[in-house]
Amino acid sequence: MDKGFSPVGLRVLVVDDDPTWLKILEKMLKKCSYEVTTCGLAREALRLLRERKDGYDIVISDVNMPDMDGFKLLEHVGLELDLPVIMMSVDGETKRVMKGVQHGACDYLLKPIRMKELKIIWQHVLRKKLQEVRDIEGCCYEGGADWFTRNDETHYLGGGEDVSFGKKRKEFDFEKKLLQDESDPSSSSSKKARVVWSFELHQKFVNAVNQIGCDHKAGPKKILDLMNVPWLTRENVASHLQKYRLYLSRLEKGKELKCYSGGVKNIDSPPKDSEFSSGHQSPGKNSYGFSGGSSLIHKAETDPKQLASSSVSDPSDVHMPPKAKKSRIEFDPPISSSCAFESLLPWSDVPDPLESKPTILYESSFLQQQPLLPSQSPYVANSAPTLMQDEMKPSYETCVNADAFLMPQDKNSTVMILQDLALPTPYAMKLQEASSNVTNDTESILRSLNWELPESHHSGFIDTDLDFSWIQNEHFLANTSGNFQNFQFQDYSCSPSLLSELPPHLWFGNDPDECTLMVDHGLFIS
Amino acid sequence: MGKCMQGYLDEQFMELEELQDDVNPNFVEEVATLYFKDSARLINSIDQALERGSFDFNRLDNYMHQFKGSSTSIGASKVKTECTMFREYCRMGNAEGCLRTFQQVKKEHATLRKKLEHYFQLARQAGPKETARRSK
């Protein structure tokens, strides 16, 4: 948008099972100089959207579709892709409209639709983009001076923080900036304070989210209130929530990701699995409550372990998990808690994160075969075995986050291992190697993941003692070897117990010095 | 549009005519053709559902909702009116009312079809310029 946003060429995806309307809308949208793609089925639409993650700017969908409820489609799109969605219907009943808004629709049009209504839909796209920018910038403000964060921001923002991106947000940001600059003369806008999301803090967050339940209305304010952390701001929560949602969506996507490298698939039931199960709590597996029960989930168990071992085996090598572009390790977290997600995230698309996403290290379980990042973050071999297990659980597919995790800079063995995930055999071997270096696991793993464990936590394993914190935004980006690109935050309204089920150690903190973890962009692994 | 069309089509039809251009010179007729093809299918489904006699009002309402939505696309106002009435009867669970109204729906639908066929025929005979003039 900085480049000058123009409505011309706006990429619109129109979804309507009525062929007559589809034709008419297509013509109308073309007359608005938009780039139009039509679709008669909701599933098809989702497929298209997932196929080309950044291929569309906005989605217009009818509420009544034969294969899927329009509202469901809306949820999916919102969660997975965070695209603005406009609902349409011939039915203008208030409660229907309200439902649309509740599900996240940015507008609700009544049929017959007029040209003038379509001519302004680009505003939704622009607005959303601006919100994203503000969000990212907003993170930077968080963690500032205590007195600053203690500002009753939640109060200021009042309710409706969910859809607060608007004037309120703008004012808020401005005020924040003012305050920050005032309070810390040395701080420039480029140097932003960060909130360190320790494990405990994240747990609180997750608990709060779960408490709110699987309704998309879990907004930052509500979460903040439930968390009851005095110094935390709504802003902090909002940005964390965004990341979390992104993470969850990635997990979901991963579940559906079918195109994992062959090895990954095989990982599903590898015998090695047992070798690596180092007493890690199994919640990990199901920690990602993706009820979708996608394949990812199935694989999660084995994958994490394997990955963990592999990363463990070669602490020195591992800097960054290999960044396999499209190969993700599917972890199917056999999480049962994914209530909300289950219904919400039937994604089948494999995101293409690698190139565009920052390497956010989410637990080691995100061993995604991603290209190795050049960054040399130390590996936090946090209890690799345990880590792996738990972490692996989430069917995380290497969504960016995973990449972040294991991003061996070079093709060290770890990387190799990871990269070889496609090949069960080599992988197995690696795992073997990995498992042998348990002592340094924790550190090396974490290091490889670009996460640094707090000093207090050393080898051993990841457990609640570990206090991972992650540093968001810039720091992370700065450290990474620039492989990261801005994430597009996804907006998940609800994050069911995914995180809560994950063992604490899944949270990695990032040492400011070398933080490569971009909390902002990554997935949260809890 | 002509007096014969009065009441049968609302401003939506005019909107469609406005959309017609050099890129799609037969846009309106194409849309109308599409509508009648799709709506015939829906009418069929409703017919069958009614014939079954089981009167699943939810289902009938659903069909009619689609049909109504479709009818708004070309501005078929009379058809729309009958659709609304049908849905009302569905909500009330009035089978008799549904049957009666549905007959009306079909009647209006058939009438509109004839009128439009005639309309497009004239338009083709008149030529593109003539059509533009007439539609304005």
Give the tens place of pLDDT for each residue, B74-122: 999 999 999 999 999 999 999 999 999 999 999 999 999 999 999 999 9
**CB pair distance less than 8 Å for B38 and A23:** no
By the CB < 8 Å criterion, does B109 face chain A? no
Give the tens place of pLDDT for each residue, A141-181: 544 443 333 444 433 333 333 333 344 444 444 444 444 44
- B chain contacts of residue A110, beta-carbon cutoff 8 Å: none
Closest CA to A308 of A210, A442, A208: A442
Overall average pLDDT of the A65-81 stretch: 86
**Higher-confidence position of A309 and B75:** B75
pLDDT of amino acid A214: 61
Where would I find the H helices in B1-127? 11-19, 27-52, 57-74, 77-92, 95-126
ipTM of the complex: 0.91
- B chain contacts of residue A115, beta-carbon cutoff 8 Å: 15, 18
**CB pair distance less than 8 Å for A91 and B65:** yes
Give yes or no for a cis peptide into A270 (omega within 30° of 0).
no
User: Would you state the torsion angle of the CA atoms of residues A289, A290, A291, A296, taken in this order, to the nearest 10 degrees?
Assistant: -130
pLDDT of amino acid A202: 81
Closest CA to A25 of A109, A135, A136: A109
User: Would you state the torsion angle of the CA atoms of residues A51, A57, A62, A68, taken in this order, to the nearest 10 degrees?
Assistant: 30
| Number of cross-chain residue pairs from A and B with Cβ atoms under 8 Å apart | 52
Strand order in A107-110's β-sheet? A35-39, A11-15, A58-62, A85-89, A107-110
Question: Which residue is closest to A92 within chain B, CA to CA?
Answer: B69
Question: Most B CBs within 10 Å: which of A18, A26, A64, A111, as the mutation test of the B interface?
Answer: A18
pLDDT of amino acid A470: 41
Q: What proportion of chain A, given as a percentage, has pLDDT over 90?
A: 13
pLDDT of amino acid B129: 58
Question: Which residue is closest to B15 within chain A, CA to CA?
Answer: A114
Tell me the pairing of strands A380-381 and A35-39: unpaired
